[in-house]
Amino acid sequence: MKVVLLALNASFTHTSLSARCIGAVCAEAGFELEVVELNINEGAEVIAGRVVVTRPQLLLCSVYIWNRRLMEDVCTRVRLMRPEVVIAWGGPEVSGEGEGILARGHADYVVCGEGEEAVLQLICALEQGKPPEAAGIAWQGGSLPRKESRQDLDNLPFPYADEPWTKNKIYYFETSRGCPYNCTYCLSSREAGVRFMSLCTAKARLSQMVGKVPLIKFVDRTFNADPQRARDLWEFLLELPTETRFHFEVCAHLLTTADFVLLAERRATRFQFEVGLQSASPQSLLAVNRYTDAVQVLHTVRDLVALGTVEVHLDLIAGLPHETLATFLSGLDSALKALPHRLHLGFLKVLPGTELRRQAEELGMVYLPYAPYEVLRTPDMTPTDFLYLKTAAKTLDRYYNSRQAEQALRYVLRLAKITGSQTLERLSVMGENTVQESAYVALQAHVAEPEVLKELCRFDYLMHEPHVRVPDMLLGESPQEERAVRDLVYGDSDRLLVALPHRQGDKPGVILRRLRWGKFNAEACAVLGLPHGGEVLFDHSLPRSTRAIAVT
């Protein structure tokens, strides 16, 4: 039987872990599986065409919230072009609505829960012309699964054994399945408890991945659910001689003093932590079964940021039960005050199969009836409130998460007379200027020293922009960059190489192509932590974290 698996990633840089997991079990069992891995920007016509030319007999579709509607379109086209193809859907978001999917005819089979064993059983059953008896498979005319399959993670094959690694992609890895918590909106709360891969297996597999890719994202729902085990893995990853970075979803309240000692190490700059705050309203958190103390979480986030090593991403969700626009904005202000490196403002999704979905009517939540099932109105938040927050989320991404105005915004968030959400509101009405010009224009009236803000915006500009001249608005009294950088490169190579020893041996023309220069006043230097004198080189051949180098 010709089996094809279709995976549609959210972007070109992503890779599909599920496709590789299913591919690995099929290879181990001796089944041939062809993977068609594309991204959602390709469009239904192209994707359906790519599937059809593989001439599948069984098409396995890896369905997620970000590709659900596109997958429906693709499967409709495949069915019309090749009615004989058997279609099976799987993935976390379809597990809770097998019946609906079958009724709408998008798929002949739905794999509910984990796919590895169920897919093998499905292929075997179809090859033998029998209905699948496996736990976890629902089918047209058959009964819904009694229980879903649960795998021992050590017994599953390594999904990357034959991976032709690609340098510019993100790879995903899991060392556990399940979550110890029960947030009502989350699909991970469907399974009680957590299953861990043994440390020995996890370390052996990670050793085969590191160094091959720039970023490995752990999909473990709460990586530090067992704090001792997490620390053991962090210690292991810190010891590895690698440039690879690692992303973890962690619970802030589970981080211990021993973790902080470890994370203070310089090598921990290779770690990114994603922390879910979701809301600062105790009433809203309680309503979705989250018992964490938002004040404590924010305190821990501030301490993590202060380490200056780990990159911290903080998540908020708008639209939780009982959340009003005012309580949400107050939480947003507190979150911005903690100065995480990124702040993700997401919107509540009422996912099929969750407890929240069962409670939604009683809670008066109105949401999209199709993916992504996003909430549109609650008894406490109007559609206008949600639209206002959509704009805030876009502004947050453009100005804060892009880090294009990092120093300027940190200054404003620490010292301005307006709150974080008011800062976003001022920025949201800005026009076509660069991010740094807009930040200066929008916020200068709200800081005690607008000149310092201008200097910081210029710093951010030079940090971000490798070539284009600094806009006049941000130049002020600063000396001419072009002459200063040429004098340094052509006339004072000793001083240049003290600042940029890695440029030893490079020709001046090559250095100049990626080098910028700025001089900043004493007040801005104090804010930036620069030595007195304020001359800075921005070497755009270096990663962002080491790009700005003070010239002595």
CB of 276 to ligand SF4, least distance (A): 6
Of residues 278 and 327, the one with the C-beta less far from ligand SF4: 278
Q: How far is the CB of 273 from ligand SF4 (least distance, A)?
A: 14
**Taking the complex as a whole, how short is the minimal distance between the CB of residue 181 and ligand SF4, in angstroms?**
4
Structural contact between residues 284 and 327, judged by C-beta atoms closer than 8 angstroms: yes
Torsion over CA: 182, 188, 193, 199 (sign): negative
Considering the complex, what minimum distance in angstroms separates the CB of residue 187 from ligand SF4?
7
Cβ-Cβ contacts under 8 Å for 231 (sequence gap 6 or more): 224, 256, 258, 259, 262
Q: Which one, 251 or 396, has the nearer CB to ligand SF4?
A: 251
**Least Å distance between CB 176 and ligand SF4?**
11
Task: Characterize 424-445 residue by residue with b for buried, 16 or more Cβ atoms within 10 angstroms of its Cβ, and e for exposed.
Answer: bbbbbebeeebbbbbbbbbbee
Per the DSSP assignment, residues forming a β-bridge with 170 are 215
Rounded to a whole number of angstroms, the minimum distance from the CB of residue 228 to ligand SF4 is: 19
Shortest distance, position 61 Cβ to ligand SF4, whole Å: 24
Q: What DSSP designation does 400 have?
A: I
In sequence order, what DSSP letters do the residues of 471-530 get, joined into one string?
PHHHHTTPPPHHHHHHIIIII-HHHHHHH-GGGTT--HHHHHHTEEEEE--HHHHHHHTP
Q: How many CA atoms lie within 13 A of 323 on its CB side?
A: 30
Of the pair 183, 462, the CB lying nearest ligand SF4 is at 183
- Minimum CB–partner distance for residue 349 and ligand SF4 (Å): 11
Q: DSSP H helical segments within 182-225, as ranges?
A: 199-209
CA 476, distance to chain mean position in Å, is 38
Assigned token pair, 363: 């809670």
Q: What's the closest the beta carbon of residue 279 comes to ligand SF4, in angstroms?
A: 12
292 versus 478: smaller Cβ distance to ligand SF4: 292
- Closest to ligand SF4 by CB, 281 or 407: 281
CB of 256 to ligand SF4, least distance (A): 18
Using CA atoms, how far residue 65 sits from 48, 101, 290, 349, 381, in Å, is 19, 14, 23, 10, 24
Q: Please, what is the minimum distance in Å from the beta carbon of residue 548 to ligand SF4?
A: 36
Residue labelled with tokens 């599909």: 16
**Using CB under 6 A as the criterion, which residues of the chain lie in contact with ligand SF4 when the complex forms?**
179, 181-183, 186, 188-189, 221-222, 276
Q: Which residues contact 52 (CB under 8 A, 6 or more apart)?
A: 78, 81, 82
> Based on CB atoms, which residue is closest to ligand SF4, 225 or 496?
225
275 vs 488, beta carbon nearer ligand SF4: 275
Nearer to ligand SF4, 274 or 465 (CB): 274
- Indicate the residue among 276 and 420 with the shorter CB distance to ligand SF4: 276
Contact in structure between 179 and 188 (CB atoms under 8 Å): yes
**Residues 373, 376, 380: CA angle, nearest 5 degrees:** 130
Strands 548-550 and 535-539: antiparallel
Helix (H, G, I), strand (E, B) or coil at 278: strand
CB 290, min distance to ligand SF4, A: 7
Judged by beta carbon, residue 179 or residue 456, the one nearer ligand SF4 is: 179
How many other C-beta atoms are found inside a 10 Å radius of the C-beta of residue 351? 22
Cα–Cα distance between 258 and 243 in angstroms, integer?
24
At position 419, the amino acid (one-letter code) is: T
CB of 216 to ligand SF4, least distance (A): 19
**Full strand arrangement of the beta sheet holding 58-62:** 33-39, 3-9, 58-62, 86-90, 109-111, 137-139
Distance CA 300, CA 253 (A): 7
Q: Which is nearer to ligand SF4, 54 or 182 (CB)?
A: 182
Which one, 113 or 276, has the nearer CB to ligand SF4?
Answer: 276
- The least distance separating ligand SF4 from the CB of residue 188, rounded to whole angstroms, comes to 4
Kindly report the three-state secondary structure assignment for every residue of 40-106.
HHHCHHHHHHHHHCCCCCEEEEECCCCCHHHHHHHHHHHHHHCCCCEEEEECCCCHHHHHHHHHHCC
Is the Cβ–Cβ distance between 474 and 458 less than 8 Å?
A: yes
- Name the residue nearer to ligand SF4 (CB basis): 54 or 188: 188
| Residue 25 or 317 with smaller CB distance to ligand SF4 | 317
d(CA 462, CA 13): 27
